[in-house]
Chains A and B, each alone.
Chain A
Amino acid sequence: MKIQLSKKLIIPLLIILFILPFLYDLYRFYTDLDNLLIDYAAEAVNVLFALLYYFFLINTVSFNDRSIQENLKFFVYLLGILYLAVILAQIVLNPSYSSFDTPPLPETLASVIYSNLISAVAIFVMVPVVVILKNLIYYKRTRRTYFFMRGLILFSLVAIMSGLITRAPLTLNFDSSSSGIYFDISGSIVIILIVIISLRNSWITYLSRKEKVSYFFISIFIFWAVLYLYNFAFRYALPAHSIAIGVFVSIVWFFQVTYILFASIYLLFQLPTARIFDRKMDEVASLRNLNRVISSEFDFDKLVKLLTEMALRVIGAESIWLELYRPGTDNLYIASSQNLGDSELSNFGKDGRLELSKHVLSTRRPVLLNELTKNHPYAYIRDWKADIGCIIGAPLVSGDGEALGFLFATKKHSFGFFPDDLDMLESYAHQAVIALDNAKHLKESFERERMEEELRIAREVQQRLLPERTPEFSNIAIETLTITAYEVGGDYYDFISFPDNRLGLIIGDVSGKGTSAAFYMAEAKGIIQSLSKTFSQPKELLIRTNEILYDTLERKSFISMLMACVNPASQTLSFARAGHCPLLYYSIKEKTARLLQPGGIGVGLEKGEIFKDVLIEEKVKYKIGDVFVFYTDGLSEARNKEGIEYGEERLRELIQNNPEKSATELKDLIINSILAFLDGNSLSDDLTMLLLKM
C-alpha cells in the first residue's frame, strides 16, 4: 500500500537512482579511483534501482491476470526492445572493454555510457522477464514449485552477494578460468534450481495443436536469439557498470536459455500427440458444456437437439441420429438428428429392419462398423441412407439396465472412425440417458402435483354432492356411511322425496377415479334429480337416466346404480339394479339375510334397447324390523394386506346374526367389522353404504 501511494515519486526516483551511479562511473573513468566503500554504495544504488523498478512494475502492470499467450507475446516484445536498444547503442557508441580485468573496465567514455545504458535496459527488460517466467512456471503450481522458486531467489541473492565480495561477475563462458560460475557454490545451486524449475512447463500441454506447432518453430528462433544475447550485449558491458546487475542479468539470462530450451524440447515431444490431445480437450469441453446445459434445460426436444449437434461436431461425423423406443413398445423413432434428409427421416424403420439396433441392444456395448461391404449383415442400412461408409452406434441404457434407445453416427467413407470415437459416442449416449431421466422425473413431478390438485378438487366436489343430512322418514331408521379413498372413487348416493310420501334412494358408482368420476357423478345427480319430477318408478327412472347419460358419458365410462323407492303406506320397497351391487335384505320373518340381484346392466354401457330388456324391477313387501343394506363395491371389495376381499358374505352374516340391533348399532358393527378386517390397510376405492331399518 505504501508503495502504491508513492507511485508518482517512483519515476523521478528511478531517474535519480540511474544518474547517481552513472556520475560515479564517469568520475571513476576519469580519476582511476578505486574506493571499495563507494563501489559498494554504487552497487547498493543499482540494486535499489532494480527493486524499485520491480515494485513499480507489479503495481502498474497486472501480470497475473494474463493468459499464457499474452505472457509469451510480452516476452517476445521485450526481447525485441532489448535487441533494438543494444544494436542502436552499439552502432552509436561502439563500446570496447579491457577483457583482462575482472570486472572488465570500459576503455572509452562511450563505453561508460553504453554500460550504464545497457544496464538500465537490461533491468528494464529482465525484471518483467522474471515475472513472465514465474507466471509460466506457476501455471500449475505445487508446494514444491514454491519451494524451488524461493530457493532460486535466495541463492540468486547469495550469488549476487558473493559476486560483490569477490568482485567477480558470474561469467557464463566456458573459457573463464578462475572466477567462473562453475567454481561458485551458490552459482552452481542456482543452475541446478533453474534446471529443475525449467522442467515445469505444463502450460504447453494445454496449448492447441496449432499453437504447439507454431510455438515450437518460434521457440527455436527465440532460443538462438537469447543464447546469442549474452555475448552480444551483456558480457562486458554490465559488470563494467555493476557487478550486482551483472550477476542478476546473468542468472536471468541463464534461466531464460534453460527454460526456452526445455520448453522447446517439450513442445517437440508433444507434437505427435497434439492432435489427440486437442480432441480430448474438445471432448471434455463439450461434455462439460453439455452437462451444464442438461442441468439447466428441461425441454427434452431442445436437449436432444443440442446433444446431437455437439456430438456431430466433436466426433466429426457426417450425420448423427438418436433413436428412442416409444414408451411401452418395441418401436423406435428418431428423437433428434443432424444431417438426415426428409426422406430418410420419414422412411426410418418403415421396412421394419432394425437389425443393427437389435445388434447393439444385444451387445449392450458401442459398435463400430468401419466397412459396410455389400454382403455385410447390416448393409441393409444403405437402403435407408445410401451414403453410409462407416457407422458407429451406442446403446442408451438407463441406470436400472433398461434400454431406452440408440445413438448412431456415420461417415461417408470407410474407416472414418477411430476406436476412441466409440468412447466419445458412448459418453454422449450416457448424457442422453441423463437428459431423458431428467425430463422424465420433471414430468412425473409436475404430473404428481397436478394429480394432487385434481384429487383435492374431486374430493371437494364429491363432498358437496352427497346429501348434507339423512332425511327423517316415517318410522324408518336410515344410516349412511361414506369413506372416501385417497383417489376419489366416484361413489355417490342421494335421496328423493316424492310428493306422495314415498322416499327414493339412489346409490351409484362411477367407473374410473378422480376428477372425471366426480364430474360424471355431478352430472348423474342433476339428471336424476330433474327426472324424478316426472318419473318415480325405479326402472323407469333408470331407463331415462341411461338414455341421457349414454350420450354424454365417455364411451369407456359407465355408472352402476341401484334405485329404490320405499312406500310406507303399502310397506313395499321396489327397486331396480343397473349393474350395481346386490341389495342385502334381512327378513325378520324368515330370519335370514339374502342378496337380491335382479337383472340389469350399468348405466352408459348401452344406448337403451338391451338396457330396457334386461332391467328388472323387483318389489319387496317388508315387515317392521326388516333391514335393507345398499352398498358399493368399495365395501365388498375392501381388501386386507393379504389381498383377501371383505366380500358380501361377511356383511350378510353380520346382519343376519344381529337382527335385534338398531340401525345405528348395525352401522357401528359394520364399521368395526370392516376396520378389524382391514387391519390398518387403507381403502383403494370409495366405500358407501346406506342402511334402512324398517
Chain B
Amino acid sequence: MENFEIDRVDRSEVSILRLKGFLDAHTAPNFEQAIQNLIEESRYKIIISMTELNYISSAGLGVFMGFIEEIREKNGDIKLSNMTDKVYKVFDLLGFPALYQIFKEEAEAEQEYSKK
C-alpha cells in the first residue's frame, strides 16, 4: 500500500489542500472526503497543491471532476498548483489545462482568487 496524505491550510476564503504520495483508486476516497468536507463548510475556493504528489491515476483525476460543477456553481473553483513535471504530464495528457487553471505556485493561485 502506497501512502497518501492531505494537509489542509485555510487562508481567509481560500483553502489549500496539499497532496502527498500516491493518489489512486484506493486513496481517492480520502481525497474525495477532504473536498466533501470543504464543501460542507461552504469553502468553495480551493487550491490543490501537489508538490509532493508522486502519482495520480485516472481515479484520482476523477475526484476533481466529481465536484467541479457544484463548486463553480457556488462561485468557487478548484485551482491546481505546484505540479511536478510527471504529474503535469498526466493532467496535460487528459486535457486538464483546458478545464482547470494550473499555477506554478500556491501564491499565484491565491492571487487569482483575490483578483475577483
Contacts and interface: CB of A to CB of B under 8 A. Distances in A.
The residue in A581, A582, A602 that gathers the most chain B C-beta atoms within 10 A of its C-beta is A602
Contact of A558 (B24, B57, B65): B65
A579 B33 contact: no
A144 interface: no
A579 B96 CA distance: 9
Interface stretch (A145-153, A188-196, A508-516): A508-516
B99 A605 contact: yes
Interface string A163-202: 0000000000000000000000000000000000000000
Given A328-B33, A555-B65, A558-B65, A605 B95 contact: yes
Contacts of A602: 94-95
Interface string B36-80: 000000000000000000000111011101100100000000000
A176 to B, nearest CB: 89
B62 A614 contact: no
Contact of B93 (A487, A510, A581, A610): A581
Given A328-B33, A579-B94, A511 B99 contact: no
Contacts of A579: 93-95
Q: Range of interface residues on chain B?
A: 20 to 34
B65 to A, nearest CB: 5
Interface of B is mostly: helix
The residue in A556, A581, A597, A602 that gathers the most chain B C-beta atoms within 10 A of its C-beta is A556
A557 B94 contact: no
A613 B96 CA distance: 13
Given A555-B69, A605-B95, A605-B99, A511 B30 contact: no
A116 interface: no
B62 A512 contact: yes
A408 B58 CA distance: 45
A596 B7 CA distance: 37
Given A512-B25, A614-B98, A597 B93 contact: yes
Given A328-B33, A512-B25, A513-B25, A600 B95 contact: yes
A557 B63 CA distance: 9
The residue in B59, B63, B98 that gathers the most chain A C-beta atoms within 10 A of its C-beta is B98
Nearest to B86: A645
Interface in B8-28: 24-25
Contacts of A512: 25, 58-59, 62
Q: Range of interface residues on chain A?
A: 20 to 34
Nearest to A327: B33
A601 B94 contact: yes
Given A558-B58, A597-B93, A605 B65 contact: yes
The residue in B32, B58, B62 that gathers the most chain A C-beta atoms within 10 A of its C-beta is B58
A546 B90 CA distance: 20
A685 B26 CA distance: 13
Given A487-B25, A512-B25, A513-B25, A599 B95 contact: yes
Interface string A331-363: 000000000000000000000000000000000
A46 interface: no
B96 A601 contact: yes
A613 B98 CA distance: 10
Contacts of B65: 555-558, 605
A610 B98 contact: yes
The residue in A581, A605, A685 that gathers the most chain B C-beta atoms within 10 A of its C-beta is A605
A231 to B, nearest CB: 87
Contacts of A328: 30, 33
A540 interface: no
Contacts of B32: 556
Interface string A564-582: 0000000000000011111
Interface string A589-622: 0000000010111100110001001100000000
The residue in A578, A606, A613 that gathers the most chain B C-beta atoms within 10 A of its C-beta is A606
Contacts of B96: 601
A560 interface: yes
Nearest to B58: A511
Contacts of B25: 487, 512-513
A560 B30 CA distance: 24
Given A555-B69, A558-B65, A610 B99 contact: yes
A513 B62 CA distance: 12
A597 B95 CA distance: 11
30 contacts: A490-B58, A509-B58, A511-B58, A511-B59, A511-B62, A512-B59, A513-B25, A555-B66, A555-B69, A556-B32, A556-B65, A556-B66, A558-B58, A558-B61, A558-B62, A560-B58, A560-B94, A578-B95, A580-B93, A581-B93, A582-B93, A597-B93, A601-B99, A602-B94, A602-B95, A605-B65, A605-B94, A613-B98, A633-B58, A684-B24
Interface of B: 24-25, 30, 32-33, 57-59, 61-63, 65-66, 69, 93-96, 98-99
Interface of A: 328, 487, 490, 509-513, 554-558, 560, 578-582, 597, 599-602, 605-606, 610, 613-614, 633, 684-685
Q: Which 6 interchain pairs have the tightest Cβ spacing?
A: A601-B95, A556-B66, A511-B58, A556-B62, A579-B94, A614-B98
